[in-house]
Amino acid sequence: MDYSDQFRVINQMMEKNTPPVCSYEGSDYQQRFWDEGQRAYEDAVEAIALKRLLPEQGDLLLELGAGAGRNTSRYRSYDRVVLLDYSRSQLERAQRRLGDAERYIFVAADVYRLPFVDGLFDGGTMIRTLHHMAEPELALSQVRRVMALDGVFILEFANKRNLKAMLRYLFGKQAWSPYSREPVEFAELNFDFHPKAVHRYLREAGFHIEKQLTVSHFRVGFLKRHIPTRILAAMDALLQWTGAVVQISPSVFTRCRAVGVSGEAAGDGFFQCPVCGEVLEGKGHDLHCENCGAVWEYRDGIYDFRINKH
- Residue 279 CB coordination number (10 Å): 18
Parallel, antiparallel, or unpaired: how do β-strands 295-299 and 287-288 relate?
Answer: antiparallel
Per-residue pLDDT 10s for the chain (310 aa) are 343 443 444 444 455 567 998 888 888 877 777 776 689 999 999 999 999 999 999 999 999 999 999 999 999 999 999 999 999 999 999 999 999 889 999 999 999 999 999 999 999 999 999 999 999 999 999 999 999 999 999 999 999 999 999 999 999 999 999 999 999 999 999 999 999 999 999 999 999 999 999 999 999 999 999 999 999 999 999 999 999 999 999 999 999 999 998 777 666 899 999 999 999 998 889 999 999 999 999 999 999 999 875 4
CATH of segment(s) 3-309? 3.40.50.150
SS3 301: coil
100 contacts: CB under 8 Å, gap ≥ 6: 301
Which 3 state secondary structure label does DSSP give 231?
helix
**Domains in the chain: boundaries:** 3-309
User: What single letter denotes the amino acid at residue 305?
Assistant: F
d(CA 287, CA 224): 48
Measured between alpha carbons, how far is 230 from 175 in angstroms, rounded to an integer?
A: 36
Single-letter residue type at 158? A
- pTM of the full structure: 0.92
Strand pairing of 207-215 and 147-158? Answer: unpaired
Contacts of 205 (CB under 8 A, 6+ apart): 137, 140, 141, 143, 144
